[in-house]
Amino acid sequence: MSDRLSATFRQLRETNTKAFVAYIAAGDPDFDKSLEIMQTLADLGSDIIELGLPFSDPLADGIVNQLAAERALKSGMTTTRALDLIRRFRETHQTPLVLFTYLNPVFTYGFEKFHHDAAAAGADGILLLDLPPDEAARNTDLAIGAGLKHIRLIAPTTPPERVRLLARSSEGFIYALSRTGVTGAHGAPSANIAELVASIKAHTDVPVCVGFGISTPEQAAMVAAVADGVIVGSAIVKQVELNPQHPAAAVRSFAAPLIAAVKAPLPEV
């Protein structure tokens, strides 16, 4: 199996550019339009796409992503259909895909079987929002997860020892939260992002990407200056909500300037 995530970050380092990571909900507003949005983001230059698996109780998500999950579920999206969506995307694109989900749908599917089937479909990584790595290690049913790189989430309030544990157990990249709270474009990224990134990098060479509250090119550029990548989620999902008939076109118009800001040459110090 090719390691698309490592290859992507290696290429970014060689060209001294940062990653743009885009989040959308699988199946929002429906299967075909969701596929078109994924293809559009890849064609625009997104380096990684985070694909949220719709779940009926997304406790870490803000209202924008909750509504996206609801729309996807109503359109008939299931975990199995999400894997079909990945297979369709892989027919035309090799952009790395990271699954953003909760333990419940994965455990229901079968933890080991899900990892195998998702990797076979073309997924590259997984971020399990409510499964801490130390808890997984205590449960044999959750310890076997080969095939997908396990992305870790680190918040500004994470204690230093916990940062060390998460950083050292992370694969692919680390998702660093720019601020506390649930997902959403409300609020701006914290001014202490550079310190957070530095505290994580003290324990690992794994790339650190920052998300939460990034919705403008200016914010994206600010984060790109101190992190290995910029994650934009709710602000993109909002475009789908506002433009249900032509969501891919709306996403293209919105995301293009953010991607350009992330990819702009960094000012010399």
Instruction: Give the active site residues.
Output: 50, 61
SS3 121: helix
Would strands 149-150 and 174-177 be described as parallel, antiparallel, or unpaired? unpaired
Could you write out the DSSP letters of every residue in 164-180?
Answer: HHHHHH--S-EEEESSS
The answer to whether 60 and 129 are in contact (CB under 8 A) is: yes
The terminus-to-terminus CA distance of the chain in angstroms comes to 40
**Distant-in-sequence, close-in-space partners of 82: CB < 8 Å, separation ≥ 6:** 26, 27, 51, 53, 54, 99
